[in-house]
Amino acid sequence: MVPTRDWILHVDLDQFIAAVELLRHPELRGRPVVVGGDGDPTRPRTVAATATYEAREHGVHSGMPLRTALRRCPDAVFLPTDPPAYEAASRRVMAILRAFPVQVEIWGWDEAFIGGHTDDPEQLAADIQRAVHAGTGLTCSVGIGDNKHQAKLASAFAKPAGVYRLTSENWAAVMNDRPTDALWGIGGKISKKLADLGLHTVAQLAAADPHDLAGHFGPTNGPWYRYLALGKGEAEVVTTPWIARGHSREITYREDLTDPAEIRAQIAALAQQVATDATEAGRLAIRVSVKVRFTPFLTRTRQSKLPSATRDPAELTRAALTVLDRFELTRPIRLLGVAVDYQMPG
């Protein structure tokens, strides 16, 4: 008899944004679809939010400029992004997950960690998949693990619409020969630095001396990379509602900005938007940041602490313009952004 125990499941909605669009446009099923910007792939500086599997077969992926996506897949259908629709679909999915006798930790529109006490995690995963599909028409992949790290990796192995178990029992067999950037939390840059030290695989990283790693990557990060390679990770599912620490608004301009008056007007408009966001959230801002991206791709950020917590649009606009004055606006600008940090409750 299989004992009942705690499991971590990672629920990852398959090609979520594209899937929501296909529910609204069923005639596009089976065709390459790219979602991004206003749906016009000829406009500069717009990128793909997602692409269907049919488009991905042509090398299209999220974050790719739409113009590049059009060249790689000229037969693709391009659709504009619709965040309110994705937020609504995500809320329906998360409500379905919460209806199960489990703990749910939301990580974004399209993913959540589940803490479940069961003797059959595959059955729980299958039940979740059926409920999500019946309630929303969306499919999801589910990874099962002893901790979040394992479950997150397992859901990628399960795609699309499958279930995969990755635990301490099969960790070595599945992961040891994979490159270090297969681990959740190690990207290409760190993987290259590890390779420079002769650590190319997960097994090699797991066998590395933590003191040597600390010398190269710092006392926290170095041993942590080895911890990941051993298949370790956090096993607590936190159900406390996520509280935003701030809000930001930014715009990438189709034509570079050079007129100082226009730049100030754009910053003022963005500050008004984050003031509205703060008001709608019932929060007070304590810090204002301004981001400026000069052509071709030089980004600078400056910030200032407010004299007192506020959500007053005039105060936030004044503060943003004061921060803007600290920039040398001698080059054309392609992006502007304004962000506020909120006063945290408690």
4 contacts 47 by C-beta, under 8 angstroms = no
CB atoms within 10 A of CB 148: 22
User: Helices 188-196 and 210-217 sit at what angle, rounded to 10 degrees?
Assistant: 120
> Is 111 one of the annotated active-site residues of the chain?
yes
Enumerate residues 6+ apart whose C-beta is below 8 A from 126. Answer: 163
Selecting among 21, 54, 105, 111, the annotated active-site residue is 111
Q: Which residues are catalytic?
A: 111
